[in-house]
Amino acid sequence: MINKKKHTILIREAAQRLGFSFIGFAKAERLDEEAQRLEMWLNQGMHGQMQYMENHFEKRVDPTKLVPNAKSVICLMYNYYTDQEQEDATAPKISKYAYGKDYHFVIKDKLKELLHFINENIGEVHGRCFVDSAPVLERDWAKRAGVGWVGKNTLIIHPKAGSYFFLAELILDLELEYDHPMKDYCGTCTRCIDACPTDAISPQGYLVDGSKCISYLTIELKEAIPNEFKGKMGNWMFGCDICQEVCPWNRFSKKHDEPAFEPHPDLLKMTKQDWEEITEEVFQQIFKDSAVKRTKFKGLQRNIAFLKPE
Protein backbone atom coordinates (compact mmCIF):
# COMPACT_ATOMS: atom_id res chain seq x y z
CA MET A 1 0.00 0.00 0.00
CA ILE A 2 1.28 3.47 -0.92
CA ASN A 3 1.88 5.51 2.20
CA LYS A 4 0.11 8.72 1.15
CA LYS A 5 0.30 10.28 4.61
CA LYS A 6 4.03 9.71 4.95
CA HIS A 7 4.72 11.06 1.43
CA THR A 8 2.61 14.14 2.09
CA ILE A 9 4.51 14.90 5.32
CA LEU A 10 7.89 14.35 3.60
CA ILE A 11 6.99 16.77 0.79
CA ARG A 12 5.61 19.39 3.17
CA GLU A 13 8.78 19.31 5.28
CA ALA A 14 11.06 19.48 2.23
CA ALA A 15 9.12 22.47 0.87
CA GLN A 16 9.43 24.28 4.21
CA ARG A 17 13.19 23.67 4.19
CA LEU A 18 13.31 25.30 0.75
CA GLY A 19 11.69 28.43 2.20
CA PHE A 20 8.03 28.02 1.25
CA SER A 21 5.77 29.46 3.95
CA PHE A 22 2.62 27.46 3.25
CA ILE A 23 2.03 24.22 1.38
CA GLY A 24 -1.29 22.62 0.49
CA PHE A 25 -2.37 19.56 -1.47
CA ALA A 26 -5.33 19.23 -3.82
CA LYS A 27 -6.67 16.38 -5.92
CA ALA A 28 -5.87 16.85 -9.62
CA GLU A 29 -9.22 17.04 -11.40
CA ARG A 30 -10.99 19.24 -13.93
CA LEU A 31 -12.06 22.57 -12.47
CA ASP A 32 -15.64 22.59 -13.76
CA GLU A 33 -17.07 25.48 -11.74
CA GLU A 34 -13.91 27.56 -12.19
CA ALA A 35 -14.00 26.87 -15.95
CA GLN A 36 -17.43 28.50 -16.16
CA ARG A 37 -16.19 31.57 -14.29
CA LEU A 38 -13.12 31.87 -16.52
CA GLU A 39 -15.26 31.60 -19.65
CA MET A 40 -17.56 34.36 -18.39
CA TRP A 41 -14.58 36.60 -17.51
CA LEU A 42 -13.08 36.10 -20.99
CA ASN A 43 -16.42 36.65 -22.73
CA GLN A 44 -16.75 40.00 -20.94
CA GLY A 45 -13.33 41.05 -22.24
CA MET A 46 -11.92 41.52 -18.74
CA HIS A 47 -8.56 40.14 -19.87
CA GLY A 48 -8.02 43.22 -22.05
CA GLN A 49 -5.23 42.53 -24.53
CA MET A 50 -3.94 39.47 -22.66
CA GLN A 51 -4.86 37.28 -25.63
CA TYR A 52 -2.83 34.41 -24.16
CA MET A 53 -5.57 34.03 -21.53
CA GLU A 54 -7.84 32.70 -24.28
CA ASN A 55 -5.35 30.03 -25.34
CA HIS A 56 -5.15 26.48 -23.99
CA PHE A 57 -8.51 26.73 -22.21
CA GLU A 58 -8.70 23.01 -21.45
CA LYS A 59 -5.13 22.97 -20.13
CA ARG A 60 -6.05 25.80 -17.78
CA VAL A 61 -8.95 23.92 -16.26
CA ASP A 62 -7.67 20.33 -16.41
CA PRO A 63 -4.27 19.46 -14.88
CA THR A 64 -4.23 16.04 -16.57
CA LYS A 65 -3.79 17.93 -19.87
CA LEU A 66 -0.52 19.38 -18.50
CA VAL A 67 0.73 16.22 -16.76
CA PRO A 68 -0.70 12.96 -18.11
CA ASN A 69 -2.26 10.86 -15.35
CA ALA A 70 -1.87 13.72 -12.83
CA LYS A 71 -3.11 12.83 -9.35
CA SER A 72 -2.09 15.79 -7.18
CA VAL A 73 -1.57 19.53 -7.34
CA ILE A 74 0.85 20.78 -4.68
CA CYS A 75 0.33 24.50 -4.02
CA LEU A 76 3.08 26.54 -2.45
CA MET A 77 3.33 30.12 -1.19
CA TYR A 78 6.59 32.07 -1.09
CA ASN A 79 6.78 35.32 0.88
CA TYR A 80 8.03 38.50 -0.80
CA TYR A 81 6.87 41.14 1.69
CA THR A 82 9.32 43.85 2.69
CA ASP A 83 8.89 46.96 4.81
CA GLN A 84 11.47 48.77 2.67
CA GLU A 85 10.05 51.71 0.75
CA GLN A 86 11.23 54.07 -1.97
CA GLU A 87 12.85 57.05 -0.25
CA ASP A 88 11.30 59.79 -2.39
CA ALA A 89 7.57 59.79 -1.63
CA THR A 90 6.89 61.73 -4.85
CA ALA A 91 8.79 59.29 -7.11
CA PRO A 92 6.88 56.97 -9.48
CA LYS A 93 6.22 53.72 -7.63
CA ILE A 94 7.12 50.11 -8.22
CA SER A 95 5.29 47.10 -6.79
CA LYS A 96 7.13 45.33 -3.94
CA TYR A 97 7.18 42.02 -5.78
CA ALA A 98 9.50 43.52 -8.39
CA TYR A 99 12.11 45.00 -6.01
CA GLY A 100 14.53 42.10 -6.33
CA LYS A 101 15.42 39.31 -8.72
CA ASP A 102 12.70 37.96 -11.01
CA TYR A 103 10.66 35.53 -8.90
CA HIS A 104 10.10 33.18 -11.85
CA PHE A 105 13.75 32.09 -11.72
CA VAL A 106 14.15 32.08 -7.95
CA ILE A 107 11.08 29.93 -7.29
CA LYS A 108 11.42 27.68 -10.35
CA ASP A 109 14.83 26.59 -9.05
CA LYS A 110 13.31 25.72 -5.68
CA LEU A 111 10.49 23.75 -7.31
CA LYS A 112 13.01 21.77 -9.35
CA GLU A 113 14.84 20.95 -6.12
CA LEU A 114 11.58 19.80 -4.57
CA LEU A 115 10.77 17.60 -7.57
CA HIS A 116 14.28 16.14 -7.39
CA PHE A 117 13.79 15.45 -3.66
CA ILE A 118 10.51 13.62 -4.38
CA ASN A 119 12.14 11.47 -7.05
CA GLU A 120 15.06 10.65 -4.77
CA ASN A 121 13.08 9.97 -1.59
CA ILE A 122 9.69 8.71 -2.71
CA GLY A 123 10.38 7.18 -6.08
CA GLU A 124 10.15 7.96 -9.78
CA VAL A 125 7.25 10.36 -10.38
CA HIS A 126 6.30 12.44 -13.37
CA GLY A 127 5.66 16.06 -12.60
CA ARG A 128 5.96 19.63 -13.79
CA CYS A 129 6.77 22.87 -12.00
CA PHE A 130 4.74 26.03 -12.55
CA VAL A 131 5.37 29.62 -11.45
CA ASP A 132 2.91 31.97 -13.10
CA SER A 133 4.29 30.89 -16.47
CA ALA A 134 1.84 28.37 -17.92
CA PRO A 135 -1.91 27.94 -18.24
CA VAL A 136 -2.57 27.07 -14.58
CA LEU A 137 -5.38 28.64 -12.50
CA GLU A 138 -3.08 29.27 -9.56
CA ARG A 139 -5.50 30.97 -7.20
CA ASP A 140 -8.21 28.39 -7.75
CA TRP A 141 -5.77 25.61 -6.90
CA ALA A 142 -4.43 27.50 -3.89
CA LYS A 143 -8.00 27.88 -2.64
CA ARG A 144 -8.71 24.17 -3.13
CA ALA A 145 -5.46 23.25 -1.38
CA GLY A 146 -6.40 25.36 1.63
CA VAL A 147 -3.40 27.69 1.70
CA GLY A 148 -5.68 30.73 1.84
CA TRP A 149 -9.01 32.08 0.65
CA VAL A 150 -9.60 34.21 -2.44
CA GLY A 151 -10.17 37.74 -1.18
CA LYS A 152 -12.44 40.41 -2.61
CA ASN A 153 -9.40 41.72 -4.51
CA THR A 154 -9.07 38.16 -5.96
CA LEU A 155 -5.71 37.62 -4.26
CA ILE A 156 -5.02 34.63 -2.02
CA ILE A 157 -5.05 35.74 1.62
CA HIS A 158 -3.68 33.71 4.53
CA PRO A 159 -5.22 34.61 7.92
CA LYS A 160 -1.86 34.58 9.69
CA ALA A 161 0.31 36.13 7.01
CA GLY A 162 -1.65 38.28 4.55
CA SER A 163 -1.28 38.27 0.77
CA TYR A 164 2.26 39.28 -0.20
CA PHE A 165 3.07 35.85 -1.62
CA PHE A 166 4.08 34.31 -4.90
CA LEU A 167 2.12 31.19 -5.80
CA ALA A 168 3.68 28.09 -7.32
CA GLU A 169 2.52 24.59 -8.18
CA LEU A 170 3.86 21.10 -8.69
CA ILE A 171 1.53 18.82 -10.64
CA LEU A 172 2.40 15.15 -10.07
CA ASP A 173 1.20 11.67 -10.95
CA LEU A 174 1.49 10.75 -7.27
CA GLU A 175 -1.45 10.30 -4.92
CA LEU A 176 -1.21 12.25 -1.67
CA GLU A 177 -3.42 13.29 1.24
CA TYR A 178 -5.52 16.32 0.33
CA ASP A 179 -6.35 19.48 2.25
CA HIS A 180 -9.68 21.31 2.42
CA PRO A 181 -10.50 24.87 1.35
CA MET A 182 -10.34 27.52 4.04
CA LYS A 183 -13.19 29.75 5.22
CA ASP A 184 -13.46 33.20 3.63
CA TYR A 185 -12.68 35.86 6.26
CA CYS A 186 -13.24 39.02 4.18
CA GLY A 187 -16.59 39.54 5.87
CA THR A 188 -18.22 42.90 5.20
CA CYS A 189 -14.88 44.67 4.59
CA THR A 190 -14.71 46.63 1.32
CA ARG A 191 -11.39 48.44 1.78
CA CYS A 192 -9.80 47.06 -1.39
CA ILE A 193 -12.90 47.88 -3.47
CA ASP A 194 -13.07 51.43 -2.08
CA ALA A 195 -9.34 52.08 -2.50
CA CYS A 196 -8.88 50.94 -6.11
CA PRO A 197 -8.44 54.21 -8.04
CA THR A 198 -9.47 52.73 -11.42
CA ASP A 199 -12.53 50.83 -10.09
CA ALA A 200 -11.04 47.56 -11.34
CA ILE A 201 -12.64 45.54 -8.52
CA SER A 202 -16.39 44.97 -8.92
CA PRO A 203 -18.62 46.60 -6.26
CA GLN A 204 -19.36 43.17 -4.75
CA GLY A 205 -15.70 42.09 -4.91
CA TYR A 206 -14.30 38.74 -6.02
CA LEU A 207 -14.11 39.94 -9.63
CA VAL A 208 -11.41 42.12 -11.19
CA ASP A 209 -11.70 43.72 -14.60
CA GLY A 210 -8.11 43.09 -15.68
CA SER A 211 -8.35 45.74 -18.41
CA LYS A 212 -8.77 48.43 -15.71
CA CYS A 213 -6.15 47.11 -13.27
CA ILE A 214 -3.06 49.32 -12.85
CA SER A 215 -0.82 46.23 -12.99
CA TYR A 216 -2.29 45.37 -16.39
CA LEU A 217 -2.02 48.96 -17.66
CA THR A 218 1.64 49.31 -16.63
CA ILE A 219 2.88 45.81 -17.54
CA GLU A 220 0.65 43.83 -19.90
CA LEU A 221 -0.76 46.62 -22.09
CA LYS A 222 1.60 47.14 -25.00
CA GLU A 223 0.05 50.23 -26.58
CA ALA A 224 -0.69 53.68 -25.14
CA ILE A 225 -2.46 53.79 -21.77
CA PRO A 226 -6.02 55.08 -22.39
CA ASN A 227 -6.52 58.72 -21.36
CA GLU A 228 -9.47 57.80 -19.13
CA PHE A 229 -6.88 56.62 -16.58
CA LYS A 230 -5.03 59.95 -16.49
CA GLY A 231 -4.66 61.07 -12.87
CA LYS A 232 -6.05 57.76 -11.57
CA MET A 233 -2.88 55.69 -11.49
CA GLY A 234 -1.86 56.51 -7.94
CA ASN A 235 1.69 57.25 -9.19
CA TRP A 236 2.36 53.55 -10.00
CA MET A 237 4.82 53.02 -12.86
CA PHE A 238 5.13 49.23 -12.55
CA GLY A 239 2.47 47.08 -10.94
CA CYS A 240 0.32 48.24 -8.03
CA ASP A 241 0.01 47.29 -4.35
CA ILE A 242 -2.97 49.45 -3.34
CA CYS A 243 -5.44 46.64 -2.67
CA GLN A 244 -2.80 44.88 -0.57
CA GLU A 245 -1.71 48.01 1.31
CA VAL A 246 -5.26 48.65 2.54
CA CYS A 247 -6.09 45.01 3.35
CA PRO A 248 -6.39 44.55 7.15
CA TRP A 249 -4.97 41.02 6.89
CA ASN A 250 -1.61 42.41 5.75
CA ARG A 251 -0.95 43.75 9.23
CA PHE A 252 0.28 40.17 9.78
CA SER A 253 2.81 40.36 6.92
CA LYS A 254 6.38 39.57 7.98
CA LYS A 255 9.52 40.50 6.11
CA HIS A 256 10.81 37.85 3.74
CA ASP A 257 14.26 36.35 4.28
CA GLU A 258 15.10 35.70 0.62
CA PRO A 259 18.38 37.44 -0.34
CA ALA A 260 17.43 37.29 -4.04
CA PHE A 261 14.46 39.59 -3.35
CA GLU A 262 16.58 42.39 -1.86
CA PRO A 263 16.40 45.49 -4.09
CA HIS A 264 19.33 46.80 -6.12
CA PRO A 265 21.15 49.26 -3.81
CA ASP A 266 20.19 52.25 -6.03
CA LEU A 267 16.56 51.33 -6.64
CA LEU A 268 14.97 52.77 -3.50
CA LYS A 269 17.19 55.87 -3.53
CA MET A 270 16.07 57.10 -6.95
CA THR A 271 14.23 60.42 -6.89
CA LYS A 272 11.31 61.54 -9.03
CA GLN A 273 13.77 63.38 -11.25
CA ASP A 274 16.03 60.30 -11.55
CA TRP A 275 13.09 58.25 -12.83
CA GLU A 276 11.95 60.94 -15.24
CA GLU A 277 15.48 61.16 -16.68
CA ILE A 278 16.30 57.43 -16.56
CA THR A 279 18.55 56.18 -19.37
CA GLU A 280 18.50 52.73 -20.92
CA GLU A 281 21.91 52.07 -19.36
CA VAL A 282 20.61 52.75 -15.83
CA PHE A 283 17.48 50.71 -16.56
CA GLN A 284 19.58 47.70 -17.62
CA GLN A 285 21.83 48.07 -14.57
CA ILE A 286 19.08 48.35 -11.94
CA PHE A 287 16.73 45.80 -13.46
CA LYS A 288 19.33 43.32 -14.71
CA ASP A 289 17.52 40.21 -13.40
CA SER A 290 14.23 41.86 -12.49
CA ALA A 291 10.60 41.20 -13.45
CA VAL A 292 10.54 44.87 -14.55
CA LYS A 293 12.32 43.72 -17.71
CA ARG A 294 8.86 42.56 -18.88
CA THR A 295 7.75 46.10 -19.58
CA LYS A 296 11.09 46.94 -21.27
CA PHE A 297 12.78 50.35 -21.10
CA LYS A 298 10.35 51.94 -23.56
CA GLY A 299 7.35 50.63 -21.59
CA LEU A 300 8.65 52.03 -18.32
CA GLN A 301 9.33 55.38 -20.02
CA ARG A 302 5.75 55.37 -21.35
CA ASN A 303 4.39 54.71 -17.83
CA ILE A 304 6.50 57.44 -16.22
CA ALA A 305 5.47 59.96 -18.92
CA PHE A 306 1.79 59.05 -18.41
CA LEU A 307 2.03 59.85 -14.69
CA LYS A 308 3.17 63.43 -15.34
CA PRO A 309 0.38 66.00 -14.93
CA GLU A 310 -0.47 67.75 -18.17
DSSP of 20-89: -SEEEEEE----HHHHHHHHHHHHTTTTTT-GGGGTTHHHHH-GGGTSTT--EEEEEEEE-------S-T
For residues 93 and 237, the answer to whether their CB atoms sit within 8 Å is yes
Give the three-state DSSP class for 124: coil
| 279 burial level (CB within 10 Å; 0-12, 13-18, 19+) | exposed
Q: What is the largest CA-CA distance in the chain?
A: 70
- Residues 103-129 as b/e (b if ≥16 CB within 10 A, e otherwise) read beebbbebbeebbebbeeebeebebbb
Residue 290 burial (CB count, 10 A): 20
Task: Establish how many alpha carbons lie within 13 A of residue 293's alpha carbon, considering only the half-sphere containing its beta carbon.
Answer: 14
How far apart are the C-alpha atoms of 155 and 140, rounded to whole Å?
A: 10
Residues carrying an active site annotation: 132
For residues 232 and 286, the answer to whether their CB atoms sit within 8 Å is no
Give the three-state DSSP class for 15: helix
